[in-house]
């Protein structure tokens, strides 16, 4: 969708702002450009809408060399959001947002209706905020108007230059989440500039890590954090990159363990036999629909004891008590579960919050398996291999125990 081919920009004073950039942003992809101040991020972005012309190389938009496209026509296909939003101070929020549709020739009434829709889309109730003036808004609200205005002409491409840079961290996180939600339905092709690695990792499908005028690494957040291409990138992403990876590495089916599964309405005696046959200390319990309900221990089934602690009575072989009733009477309900694809960070924090040694993972309503600390470790190691393949699990991995059922 956007393709840079050997693009450089030299200024007359001898500054090389960007040096031989070649990369491509796919349609519907959100790429973050991240790097320290002065490394050429804004220059890169402004060359896409021809606010700056390259010294050499070319940029293609949808296969078309943009140097041959009239800049005004070009900018209609490209929404542009900057930090100092540049709203007209004497126009209301609604009129600010309606400016672009109006300029594009829509009748005033239609342009205003479209503007109201867009304000709604970015989380600003038009009936509350539409008639306000920009100086009657908070910084975060002004940025939202900026996003609404950039979307007004429904451009396929968005350029965003540190759009959330001027707001406090709490509001910024809020705006990031809203933008991600928006992007998941709009699927714009986005170049997003930031100097904040957390923001880059959070938002980007892929990240371009800039050094002075050059891209040092261009890859998925998990790979950039897990396998930095060089010492510069490693330093830039931070010494805590392993912790950051937790937020961008999803739980995958291959990370899961599959303890035996029994149903709530199974006879307890049959479930007990099943566990004995598998040599498993516990089983996952599913409800009649196959959705995860909780867990049951071999000890609870055979000792009649509804808990993980105390009691013997589970000794296999002669003298083993007969399990009574159905699994339902012996099972314990789990307090939480995870959807497939949830970040490992969420898995870890859920395990810690519920003091659990494992957590059940679902795909929709379907039970898939359980994630244990060992599985989490496997998933993190997976993220460090450039090709994303599985690595064998270490022998030191502890066994899964039902430490309270996540
Ligand atoms: P970033 O957005 O990453 O902070 P910029 O793309 O704005 O960086 O700038 C890249 C480099 O180009 C910086 O060293 C900056 O000082 C320089 N630069 C930007 N504009 C000009 C200009 N008009 N003349 C000379 N140097 C410039
Ligand atoms: Mg900049």
Give me ligand 2 centre to Cα 122, in Å.
24
Give me ligand 2 centre to Cα 230, in Å.
23
Give me ligand 1 centre to Cα 38, in Å.
6
Task: Tell me the C-alpha distance between 321 and 312, whole Å.
Answer: 10
Ligand 1 in contact with 143 (CB < 6 A)?
A: no
* Ligand 1 site-directed mutation target among 7, 14, 15, most atoms within 8 Å of CB: 15
Q: Which of 333, 338, 339, 329 shows the shortest CA–CA distance to 286?
A: 333
How many C-beta neighbours within 10 Å does residue 71 have?
12
What are the tokens at 60? Answer: 């293609």
Give me ligand 2 centre to Cα 161, in Å.
7
User: Where do the DSSP E strands lie in 35-138?
Assistant: 56-61, 64-65, 78-82
Give me ligand 2 centre to Cα 85, in Å.
14
CA distances to 119, 309, 322, 359 from 319, in Å: 71, 20, 9, 33
Are the beta carbons of 402 and 380 closer than 8 angstroms?
no
Alpha-helical regions (H) of 304-371: 344-353
CA distances to 81, 146, 236, 280, 378 from 129, in Å: 20, 14, 40, 60, 49
Residue 18 in 3-state DSSP? strand
Q: What is the pLDDT of residue 244?
A: 87
Q: Which of 257, 233, 265 shows the shortest CA–CA distance to 371?
A: 257
Nearest CA residue ID for atom 17, ligand 1: 17
Task: Tell me the C-alpha distance between 183 and 122, whole Å.
Answer: 11
Task: Give me the helix-helix angle, 373-382 and 344-353, nearest 10°.
Answer: 160
* Ligand 1 site-directed mutation target among 9, 10, 11, most atoms within 8 Å of CB: 11
Give me ligand 1 centre to Cα 39, in Å.
7
Ligand 1: nearest atom to the Cα of 40:
6
Q: Which of 48, 51, 52 shows the shortest CA–CA distance to 66?
A: 48
What is the per-residue DSSP string for 243-291? Answer: HHHHHH-B--GGG-B---EEETTSBHHHHHHHHHHHT-SEEEEE-TTS-
pLDDT, tens digit (0-9, with 9 covering 90-100), for 167-198: 888 888 888 988 998 899 999 999 999 999 99
Ligand 1: nearest atom to the Cα of 35:
3
Ligand 1 in contact with 249 (CB < 6 A)?
A: no
Which residue pairs from 173-179 have beta carbons closer than 8 angstroms and sit at least 24 positions apart in sequence? 174/140, 175/140, 175/143, 175/144, 176/202, 176/203, 178/122, 178/123, 178/144, 179/147, 179/203
Give me ligand 1 centre to Cα 8, in Å.
12
pLDDT, tens digit (0-9, with 9 covering 90-100), for 141-160: 888 898 888 888 889 999 99
Q: What is the pLDDT of residue 397?
A: 33
Task: Tell me the C-alpha distance between 243 and 246, whole Å.
Answer: 5
Q: What is the pLDDT of residue 187?
A: 94
Cβ neighbors of 387 (< 8 A, separation 6 or more) are none
Nearest CA residue ID for atom 5, ligand 1: 40
Are the beta carbons of 331 and 267 closer than 8 angstroms?
no
Give me ligand 2 centre to Cα 17, in Å.
11
Cβ neighbors of 71 (< 8 A, separation 6 or more) are 49, 50
What are the tokens at 157? Answer: 């491409």
Task: Tell me the C-alpha distance between 59 and 57, whole Å.
Answer: 7
Ligand 1 in contact with 41 (CB < 6 A)?
A: yes
Nearest-ligand number for the alpha carbon of 83: 2
What are the tokens at 187? Answer: 């699927």
pTM metric for this prediction: 0.77
Q: Which of 85, 79, 176 shows the shortest CA–CA distance to 138?
A: 85
Ligand 1 in contact with 213 (CB < 6 A)?
A: no
Q: What is the pLDDT of residue 309?
A: 39
Give me ligand 2 centre to Cα 41, in Å.
6
Are the beta carbons of 101 and 111 closer than 8 angstroms?
yes
Which secondary structure element, helix H or strand E, spans residue 186, and what is its range?
A: helix 169-186
Q: What is the pLDDT of residue 171?
A: 84
Nearest CA residue ID for atom 6, ligand 1: 40
Q: Which of 341, 385, 33 shows the shortest CA–CA distance to 226?
A: 385
Ligand 1 in contact with 40 (CB < 6 A)?
A: yes
Domains of the chain with bracketed CATH? 2-247 (3.40.50.300), 253-382 (3.10.580.10)
Tell me the β-bridge partners of 191: 31, 159
Give me ligand 1 centre to Cα 157, in Å.
23
How many C-beta neighbours within 10 Å does residue 142 have?
20
Ligand 1 in contact with 194 (CB < 6 A)?
A: no
Nearest-ligand number for the alpha carbon of 41: 1
| Helices and strands in the chain, H and E counts | 15, 17
Task: Answer left, alpha or beta for residue 8, where phi above 0 means left and psi between -120 and 50 means alpha.
Answer: beta
Nearest CA residue ID for atom 1, ligand 1: 38
What are the tokens at 178? Answer: 């809203």
Ligand 1 in contact with 17 (CB < 6 A)?
A: yes
Mark the ranges of the chain whose per-residue pLDDT is less than 70. 85, 304-322, 383-406
């Amino acid at each position: 969708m956007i393709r840079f081919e050997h693009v450089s920009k030299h200024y007359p004073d001898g500054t090389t702002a960007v040096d031989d950039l070649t990369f491509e942003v796919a349609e519907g992809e959100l790429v973050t450009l991240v790097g320290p101040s002065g490394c050429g991020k804004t220059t890169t972005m402004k060359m896409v809408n021809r606010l700056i012309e390259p010294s050499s190389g070319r940029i293609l938009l949808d296969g078309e060399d943009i140097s041959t496209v009239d800049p005004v026509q070009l900018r209609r296909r490209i929404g542009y959001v900057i930090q100092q939003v540049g709203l007209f101070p004497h126009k209301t929020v609604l009129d600010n947002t309606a400016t672009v549709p109006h300029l594009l020739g829509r009748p005033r009434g239609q342009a205003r209706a479209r503007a109201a829709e867009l304000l709604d889309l970015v989380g600003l109730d038009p009936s509350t905020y539409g008639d306000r003036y920009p100086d009657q808004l908070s910084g975060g609200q002004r940025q939202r108007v900026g996003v609404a205005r950039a979307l007004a002409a429904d451009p396929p491409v968005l350029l965003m230059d540190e759009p959330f840079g001027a707001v406090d961290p709490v509001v910024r996180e809020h705006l990031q989440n809203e933008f991600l939600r928006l992007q998941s339905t709009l699927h714009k092709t986005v170049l997003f500039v930031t100097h904040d690695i957390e923001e880059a990792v959070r938002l980007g499908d892929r990240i371009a890590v800039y050094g002075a005028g050059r891209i040092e690494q261009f890859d998925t957040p998990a790979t950039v954090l897990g396998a930095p291409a060089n010492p510069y990138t490693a330093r830039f992403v931070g010494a805590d990159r392993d912790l950051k990876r937790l937020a961008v590495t999803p739980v995958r089916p291959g990370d899961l363990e599959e303890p035996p599964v029994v149903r709530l309405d199974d006879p307890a005696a049959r479930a007990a036999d099943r566990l004995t046959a598998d040599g498993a200390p516990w089983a996952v319990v599913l409800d009649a629909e196959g959705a995860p309900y909780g867990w049951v221990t071999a000890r609870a089934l055979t000792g009649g004891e509804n808990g993980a602690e105390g009691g013997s009575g589970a000794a296999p072989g002669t003298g083993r008590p007969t399990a009574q009733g159905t699994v339902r009477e012996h099972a314990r309900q789990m307090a939480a579960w995870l959807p497939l694809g949830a970040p490992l960070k969420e898995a870890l924090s859920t395990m810690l919050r519920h003091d659990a040694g494992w957590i059940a993972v679902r795909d929709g309503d379907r039970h898939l398996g359980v994630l244990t600390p060992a599985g989490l470790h496997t998933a993190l190691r997976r993220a460090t291999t450039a090709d994303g393949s599985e690595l064998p699990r270490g022998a030191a991995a502890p066994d899964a125990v039902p430490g309270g059922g996540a």
